[in-house]
Chains A and B, each alone.
Chain A
Amino acid sequence: KAGVTQTPRYLIKTRGQQVTLSCSPISGHRSVSWYQQTPGQGLQFLFEYFSETQRNKGNFPGRFSGRQFSNSRSEMNVSTLELGDSALYLCASSPGGGDHNEQFFGPGTRLTVL
């Protein structure tokens, strides 16, 4: 099976712009979670989508949003970018939520905000 894929791998944006990141989960996986990784804050949970519904949400401002499509692919959007949004954004998929399966991570999208 193909792993979790994320596009693009690298992005450079300027403050005030918006950005959309994409994640394709492992085939058959219905849960997709997003995490932000920074040197200062480490790995922080953004949100999780399951069957096209946001099921869990972390403590991020409303500028961070996401959605999931019927094929389980997910996108996250960040509007009005700030310098502090520079990070590695990781997507993870699992078969379903609330079970004991581990999450499988993609390679991440490196976002740089100038």
Chain B
Amino acid sequence: AQSVAQPEDQVNVAEGNPLTVKCTYSVSGNPYLFWYVQYPNRGLQFLLKYITGDNLVKGSYGFEAEFNKSQTSFHLKKPSALVSDSALYFCAVRESHYGNNRLAFGKGNQVVVIP
């Protein structure tokens, strides 16, 4: 079974400050990890993914995430938040075996960037 936990419902951060959105996961094998962002009345937009290799992955719009296998975490970070980053963020995981295209999502974190 695969699952994701996003412990915080809402993350408030002042514009220009660092932004962190936390994610921990559970899979029985090796994980493929993803972050998506959702704006109101829109679908999900892909931000970044971890498949293998370097634990620090860089994605769209200045976001990055660090894979930590021992802590089973994949926290999303941005050095300097913008008001336009205010949105709903989802972490997702799937097990890395052929034929499994089923994503398990966390409940999502509402990020509010305060001007």
Residues of A within 8 A of B (CB): 4, 31, 33, 35, 42-45, 48, 50, 55-56, 58, 90, 92, 94, 97-100, 102-108, 110
Contacts and interface: CB of A to CB of B under 8 A. Distances in A.
Interface in B48-98: 49, 51-52, 90, 96-98
Chain A interface, >50% SS class: strand
B43 A100 contact: no
Contacts of A45: 102-104
Contacts, number: 68
B17 interface: no
Contact of B101 (A97, A107, A110): A97
Chain B interface, >50% SS class: loop
**Most chain A beta-carbon contacts within 10 A, residue among B41, B97, B103, B107:** B103
A44 B41 CA distance: 17
Contacts of B98: 97-99
B43 A90 contact: yes
B44 interface: yes
B101 A42 contact: no
**Most chain A beta-carbon contacts within 10 A, residue among B42, B101, B105:** B101
B105 A43 contact: yes
Given A55-B99, A90-B43, A100 B32 contact: yes
Interface in B8-41: 32, 34, 36, 41
13 contacts: A31-B101, A42-B105, A48-B101, A55-B99, A58-B102, A90-B44, A97-B98, A100-B52, A104-B46, A105-B36, A105-B44, A105-B46, A108-B42
Given A106-B43, A108-B43, A56 B103 contact: no
B45 A56 contact: no
A72 B24 CA distance: 34
